[in-house]
Structure 1
Amino acid sequence: MSSLFSPLKIRNLTLPNRIVVSPMCQYVADNGKATAWHQVHLGGLALSGASMVFLEATAVEAAGRITAGDLGLWNDDTEAALQPVIKAMRLVSKAAIVMQLGHAGRKASSAVPWKGGKLVDLSAGGWENFGPSPIPHTEGDRAPTTLDAAGLDRMRQAFASTAERAARLGLDGVELHAAHGYLLHQFLSPISNRRTDAYGGSLENRMRFPLEVFDAVRAAFPADKAVGVRLSATDWMDGGWDVEQSIAFVKALQARGVDFIDVSSAGISPEQQISAGPGYQVPFAAQIKQATGVTTIAVGLITEATQAEDVIASGKADLVALARGMLYDPRWAWHAAAELGATIEVPPSYLRAAPHGQSKLFRRG
């Protein structure tokens, strides 16, 4: 029996396989509001065969958007715009739907990637960005506004409020985005956090605000539903955040009831030195899982069925998440099931799509 197609229970969820669609920013929202693009895009991914689909990073306040096109969930308008998207996904698929809650911090107010991705000047439509310290992400950019006590409280409330809205939308879980150089990661990393108060300096202090945000979200989201965290296991920089600190952070999250850890890396600075290759981030997930026993999601150039099968079968991680690979091949999970001799659930309308001689590939969903 394929390990990749074995079930897994996470709090209230029983997932029929270990394949996850990663959150992928689309940069096409209308002032935070989901559009027809999201309904078509996410509806298609819900039909991929993956057991869990993440919505893209969703800003908890307007100032927390990476770009002007980021999806958001901070008011009634953004909540209402997501309702038909979630309804459509539920109509076509049983996949669990999870939202990634994010705030870009000092990386907010950027241009979309296909227009260079650089910080947008205030005079050109950009907006004030915030961070733990007045240190810009890229040398020469304007420095973020340092979050004071009132600002920290506003952030905690924003994350909790968005979690409440996600619950009203009927989502199956939420994930805090503490990776890729965004706000919560900025507090964790000594590269971006130079505070001298209770939120900076020591590891305990740098973890304090992300842990407070987790507590606020966990309290705001239904107790029977899952709350996870995505982290960058390493900054790929000397003197930065690393795996040992990540393990300490995960242990603190476990004490607070975290349900899963989504293990990525990098993003804190353009000076990072990444050694990328097939499955290059899987060892980080394996180290965290071995040290803590937490349910882990492995990511990073996982492209082949046999590669994903090995990650699960060898115990390196509990789930594998695909992003670009799923966009390139929206039926990746179907093809993996065929290659590994597994059976995958599909809607009745798709039962006749199985290739000749592989009638046992599909079961009715």
Structure 2
Amino acid sequence: MTSPNSLDPRVEAELDEEAEEIEADAVSGLTRQTAVAARSPLQLVWSRLRRDKVAIISVVIIVLVILAALMAPLVAAWTGHGPNEQFREDGLTEFGTPVAPNSQFLLGTDNLGRDVLVRLVYGAQISLTVAFFATLGALGIGTLVGLVAGFMRGPVDTVLTWLMDTTLSLPQLLFAISLVALVGPSLATTIIVIVLFSWAPIARVVRGQVLSLREREFVEAARSLGASNWRIMRVDVIPNLLVPILVYGTLLIPQAIVFEATLSFLGLGVLPPTATWGNMLSVASQGSLYTIAPWLVIFPSAALLAVTLAFNLLGDSIRDALDPRQTLFAGRRRLARRRAARRAAKKEAKA
């Protein structure tokens, strides 16, 4: 006969199982913490990105686009079609309209009988070149201005902050159109225009980070040892700015690609007959050509969408991987889901 204080055997068994689960979770948690403590921050970020399916898919898309751009001459040699070569007989119908995708022209032709596939991969070269140099220039100028403004303070900070605010207040597209009209459209002009409008947001982000870093103990220690301001900025401050600069750089690349495509679409970017995605969309819009040849819009638009979306999602994934709070919350959610699944499985087994 059981005493009044004794528990039902089934309840006691469930409590024992709960205790074992809690103990197992605690042990696994300690094991994970020990493993995390033994790895470097770079290894932690890499392990988080490897588990992020969105980041992996984004990297695959970016790598494929880069490979397509690098292999553009090989694609032209394989098809036997140059990027500006016109095929008046095979590339146009008897009515003078573009030919739809077929075995000879895999993505069809445009209004001049040029191969859309070859022009698409050559357009990737222009877009990636503009994005790389414009992003590099904007990051360099923005980091330098934000670093000096945040660290020096005083009149220097006032002047540089005013310069940032003035740049941000300018209407980008109208100013770009005016500048290109004065200088003339070209690849170099497009890169310069993008840099002029992209450095100010980066400078603001860097300035805010530097304002926080300049009051840290390691900066005060460097000052007490007699280090100059430039040495402190170069040795102590800049390494702590690499994370926001990296994240902002991945988000700036798609902006540069879209801005270049916009200028080329308006006839203010890279001049025809050079193949760019913006020029290809501009050709499709002439005389509503896209109504009879929709592939002229579909393929360049799909390339723009895929590249910009991939870079944006990769930037978000890198930001989340560099934020330890995201991993902590994700771990708690996974643990809660596992416990809920165990309870559901037990209830089904009892039923």
Higher strand share: 1
Higher helix share: 2
**TM band (smaller chain):** under 0.3
The structure that has the greater radius of gyration is: 2
TM-score of the two chains, using structure 1 as the length reference: 0.21
TM-score of the two chains, using structure 2 as the length reference: 0.22
The one of the two structures with greater contact order (alpha-carbon pairs below 8 A, sep at least 6) is 2
